[in-house]
Amino acid sequence: MSFLIRPLSAEDLDRVPALAAASEGPRWIRSDYEGILLAEPFDPLQRCGLVALSDGNLSGFALASWLRQETAAELEGVFVDRAYRRQGIGAALVGACMAWAANAGATIVRLEVRTSNAPALALYQRYGFSTVGFRRAYYSVPVEDAVLLEAPVPL
């Protein structure tokens, strides 16, 4: 199956929050995603929203951010609809976020992930992420630790 990765657009603003809610994504509301579209290019906090489309259907999305005075960008989340997993969509979204971070000016990317999320940990390791710490009881429902990961951005 083929898919397309593109920037978040206004037409995605109803579908992305629904996918996030179904896949433990950030509990943002529509206006949070609108803020990504309305940001000014010189705002201190830069955000990237990317979506994956498979046969016209929203199959995944990713969010990243970078605070200009920091060296590290943050991969805030990568979410793939269960029906579209194991098709390379998550990897493509991670790669696109890493490229965005490099173009923005970051030198490393950081993220956190549930300790039990073995598929995500394996994906991030393929992109050069390594463990730099843990946050105890970071997640709720269920309560779980987070693994802190970081990787250099591609040059």
Catalytic residue among 33, 74, 76, 112: 112
Q: Which residue has the tokens 């990243």?
A: 64
Q: Which domains does the chain have, with CATH numbers?
A: 4-152 (3.40.630.30)
The answer to whether residue 74 is catalytic is no
Q: What's the distance, Cα to Cα, between the start and end of the chain in Å? A: 30
- What is d(CA 140, CA 154) in angstroms, rounded to the nearest whole number? 33
Catalytic residue among 124, 127, 138, 144: 124
The answer to whether residue 11 is catalytic is no
- pLDDT tens-digit profile, the chain (155 residues): 689 999 988 888 888 888 877 776 556 777 777 778 777 777 888 899 999 999 889 999 999 999 988 999 999 989 999 899 999 999 999 999 999 999 999 999 999 999 999 999 999 999 999 999 999 998 887 899 999 999 999 87
